[in-house]
Structure 1
Amino acid sequence: MSIKPKLGIFDLTMIVVSLVIGMGIFRTPVNVARETNDPRVFFAIWIIGGIVSICGALTYAEIGSRYPVAGGFYKVLSHCYHPAYGFMINWMLLISNAASVAAVCLIGAEYISPVLLPDSLQNGAGHKLIGVVAVLVLYGINMLGIRLSATSLNVLTILKILMMVLLCLAVFSGGNPSNANAVVESREPKNWLYIFGAALVPVFFTFGGYQQTINFGSDVKDPGRNMPRGVFYGFAIIVVLYLTINYAYYKVIGFEQLQHTNALAARMAEAFFGPYGFKTISLLLFISVLGYANVNLISNPRMYYAMAEDGILPPVLKRVNSKTQVQEVALSVFVAVILLVLFFVGTFDKILNYVMLFDTIGLASAAASLFILRKKTRHLDGTGIYKMKLYPYLTLLFVVVYLFVTVNIFIQDWKAASIGLSLFVAGLPLYLLMKRVNRKGA
């Protein structure tokens, strides 16, 4: 049973917003402030990151328009390069995506546990319990059908946007102007290239996620028209929200305190809501986590579908329920990986460089595929598909900057990056093994 298009432009816009806005914006500004050490550079990095990410969003919009298939992120790498390379990128992305969902669920559990659990369960076990229950509830919703899961996603995303708007309103409550413009002395001299690369790692993590929209190429009605519009509208909302909330952090908390304050959302809520701010923002942050986890449960099984369609993974993973349009087996496998990671994952910060290493390599590779895809799909020009402006300059800018960040990750932590790269290379023999097993099975 093939996947039928059921998602409109509003659904896709909400998917883009929910894919990008997770918990990053409530944590990574601290990392960016520490690396930049100056409020002017801090805001410049966020603006640069937004511009580069928009270039990527427009690039992926054209890729999705030219190649509207389920599991498009895997399919485009296989189609333009080689199925082996597509598998190597995607098998690690699926693992890192599951790990990211698990880690973000744990962060959300830390916020909501004081509201839900007694003091005796204010520990790691209690947090994992909340995370497991949240994933299982979302799993049940998604098993009921993509239409219901998309509707729940729209509601969660709208609540998430409202939460961020409320946090931004804290700027009107005053703040600490005495240290708002402070520039902290650096402990060791850093050149601007290092600062630029190191600060863009958390910025791109916060802006990342929109690339998964190409996995919905076969789910979107009229993809040639709706795909670029949904991506652009969603990203416009994201950029405005990110710049506004960072300005609110700067005005209310002050730049010096921003470098040392991890509970950014709680501080902002306290400034605006008063003593009840912590409970209010804890609930809203947990809702944000549910939205992030839900959209990943919708998106990632599409990559399983694409790999199974190419005979790399077992055919059962592309099985679609004819009534609900749900990949029940693939969804179950992805949820199982998340639940396993919940019992072994460390902290969100430790995962960051691993996740970003695969993201930068994969995103740069997929974006560069547009150069090949345009040649292979020349027959589609003039048929109403989306063609980005200023091609190839915007795509080239995106690829170069992301490769620069990849190099910087190795400079920052070469041991962790080497482990990640080794796991990536290990995907090649795994691909060959899976091909051989499936060939024998056939």
Structure 2
Amino acid sequence: MSIKPKLSRFDLTMIVISLVIGMGIFGTPSDVATRAGNTPVFFAAWIFGGLVTLCGALTFAEIGARYPTTGGFYKVFSYCYHPAFAFMINWVLVISNAASVAAVALLGSEYISPLLLPQSLQNSTGTKITTIAMVLLLYVINFLGIKMSARAQNVLAIFKVGMILLLCTAIFRHDYIPSEWVATPHQGSLITAFGLSLVPVFFTYTGYAQTINFGGDIINAKKNIPRAIFIGIGIVIALYLAINYAYFSVLGLGGLQHTHTLAAAMSSVIFGATGAKVTSILTFVSVVAYVNVNILSSPRVYYAMAEDGILPAIFKKINPKTQVQEFGMSFFVAAILVILFFVSSFSEMLNYVMFFEIIGVTAAALSIFILRKKTRDLDITGIYTIKWFPLVPVVFIISYCFVILNIFISFKESPYAALFCLAAYALGFGIYYLSVRNKREAA
């Protein structure tokens, strides 16, 4: 049974927003301020990051319009490069996605547990109980059907956007005490400061490329994928610039450098003593939206791999009524629950996740040049095409390569980290060829 289109443009727009806006915007501005060292570099990083993200959005909008298919992030690699390369990139992303979902879910539960659990359960055990309950509840919602999970995603995304706008109103309060922290300048050149600042900026902007996984789920995909990406990314960029201006206006650059709980700081300005509770709710809703959209997206990659025969056929089995990959989704949720028991360091794990994400997104963006040649016949059909081609994808790819270089620089404290990341890709390459060889021998 194949996947039938059931999601509207609005559904996909909310998915784009949820894929991008996670926990990052409530914490990474502090890292950006520390790495930037001065106000111009801080805002330049966010503005430049927004422009590059827009270039990426335009690139993936055309990729999605030219090749709308379920599990598009895998299929594009397979179609434009080679199935081995597609598996090598995506198998790591599938694992890292499950790991990042587990870690973010755990972090969100730490915020909400004090409001839900009795004092005796406000510990690591209680946090894991809350996390497991949240993941299982979302699993049940997604099991009821893709339209049900999309409706839940829409509500969560709208609530999240509303809460960010509410935090921005802190700039209209005049009774808060201005931050007395003095900004610490960056020790090094402006180029280095700018480059290192872009690493957390791009982490906060990333995620939208996974939108092309829903190519088979979207009604009129060739038109609605580009439009949903434009609208979603436009909203995200506007929200990010607005809330960073609010952070800076209330806390100053020095306050940003020394305050990692930015949402809590802003909530306390608006709501006073109840600010901590508002922060807990905001953070938890952001986490729930992030977990839900990944439960929606990641199994679509399994579906594409199963279509190519890399994974067993059961991964592409679809319930004809609900359009749910019951086994694939169950496998992904089970992976999250298993990883929950092994997650130790959230920040350390995110360094690896960011490395894999940027490598995968950059390689996917490069496919637009191959895809244009292979699908020339579509040019006369009225599909979306990038107006300033090849400038737009080139700007995006060069910028991401610059960030990859800075991630390698940030790995200098752990010299084996980069080697580990490259070894993970090599292992995926080996697994693919072992799978192909075993399949041939069986045949």
Aligned to 1:369: 367
**Aligned pairs for 1:213-252 within 5 A:** 213-252=211-250
Aligned to 1:196: 194
Q: How many residues align?
A: 439
C-alpha distance after superposition, 1:258-277 (max 9, x if no partner): 11212111111111011112
Q: Shift of residue 290 of structure 1?
A: 0.7
**More displaced, 343-352 or 228-237?**
343-352
Q: Shift of residue 185 of structure 1?
A: 3.5
For residues 196 and 435 of structure 1, the distance between their equivalents in structure 2, rounded to whole angstroms, comes to 44
For residues 165 and 3 of structure 1, the distance between their equivalents in structure 2, rounded to whole angstroms, comes to 36
Aligned to 1:80: 80
TM-score (norm 1): 0.97
Q: Shift of residue 432 of structure 1?
A: 1.1
2:422 maps to a residue whose letter is L
For residues 418 and 326 of structure 2, the distance between their equivalents in structure 1, rounded to whole angstroms, comes to 34
For residues 240 and 176 of structure 1, the distance between their equivalents in structure 2, rounded to whole angstroms, comes to 27
Q: Kindly tell me: are residues 440 and 138 of structure 1, through their superposed partners in 2, closer, same or farther at Cα, counting changes over 3 Å?
A: farther
Which of 283, 295, 301 pairs up with 1:297? Answer: 295
For residues 296 and 17 of structure 1, the distance between their equivalents in structure 2, rounded to whole angstroms, comes to 12
1:433 maps to a residue whose letter is L
Q: Shift of residue 437 of structure 1?
A: 3.3
For residues 209 and 312 of structure 1, the distance between their equivalents in structure 2, rounded to whole angstroms, comes to 25
Aligned to 1:354: 352
SS in 2 for 1:254: helix
2:365 maps to a residue whose letter is A
Instruction: Give the conservation status (yes or no) of the 8 Å contact 1:167–1:268.
Output: yes
C-alpha distance after superposition, 1:145-202 (max 9, x if no partner): 001000010001111111111111111123454658x54234xx31233222211111
1:363 maps to a residue whose letter is V
Which of 301, 325, 328 pairs up with 2:326? Answer: 328
Instruction: Give the conservation status (yes or no) of the 8 Å contact 2:41–2:193.
Output: no
SS in 1 for 2:320: coil
Structure 2: runs of 5 or more not aligned? none
1:325 maps to a residue whose letter is Q
C-alpha distance after superposition, 1:372-405 (max 9, x if no partner): 0000000000202110110111101111111121
For residues 53 and 135 of structure 1, the distance between their equivalents in structure 2, rounded to whole angstroms, comes to 30
Q: Kindly tell me: are residues 197 and 441 of structure 1, through their superposed partners in 2, closer, same or farther at Cα, counting changes over 3 Å?
A: farther
TM-score (norm 2): 0.96
Aligned to 2:62: 62
C-alpha distance after superposition, 1:222-265 (max 9, x if no partner): 11211111000001110111111111111112221211212111
For residues 110 and 275 of structure 1, the distance between their equivalents in structure 2, rounded to whole angstroms, comes to 19
| Identity over aligned pairs, percent | 56
For residues 205 and 54 of structure 2, the distance between their equivalents in structure 1, rounded to whole angstroms, comes to 9
Structure 1: runs of 5 or more not aligned? none
SS in 1 for 2:228: helix
SS in 2 for 1:190: coil
1:347 maps to a residue whose letter is S
Which of 267, 284, 295 pairs up with 1:269? Answer: 267
For residues 440 and 339 of structure 2, the distance between their equivalents in structure 1, rounded to whole angstroms, comes to 31
Instruction: Give the conservation status (yes or no) of the 8 Å contact 2:179–2:255.
Output: no
Instruction: Give the conservation status (yes or no) of the 8 Å contact 1:364–1:402.
Output: yes
Instruction: Give the conservation status (yes or no) of the 8 Å contact 1:30–1:258.
Output: yes
For residues 361 and 201 of structure 1, the distance between their equivalents in structure 2, rounded to whole angstroms, comes to 13
Which of 307, 330, 333 pairs up with 1:309? Answer: 307
For residues 365 and 395 of structure 1, the distance between their equivalents in structure 2, rounded to whole angstroms, comes to 11
For residues 259 and 115 of structure 2, the distance between their equivalents in structure 1, rounded to whole angstroms, comes to 22
Aligned to 2:35: 35
Q: Shift of residue 91 of structure 1?
A: 0.4
Q: Kindly tell me: are residues 178 and 147 of structure 1, through their superposed partners in 2, closer, same or farther at Cα, counting changes over 3 Å?
A: closer
For residues 167 and 287 of structure 2, the distance between their equivalents in structure 1, rounded to whole angstroms, comes to 16
Aligned to 1:424: 425
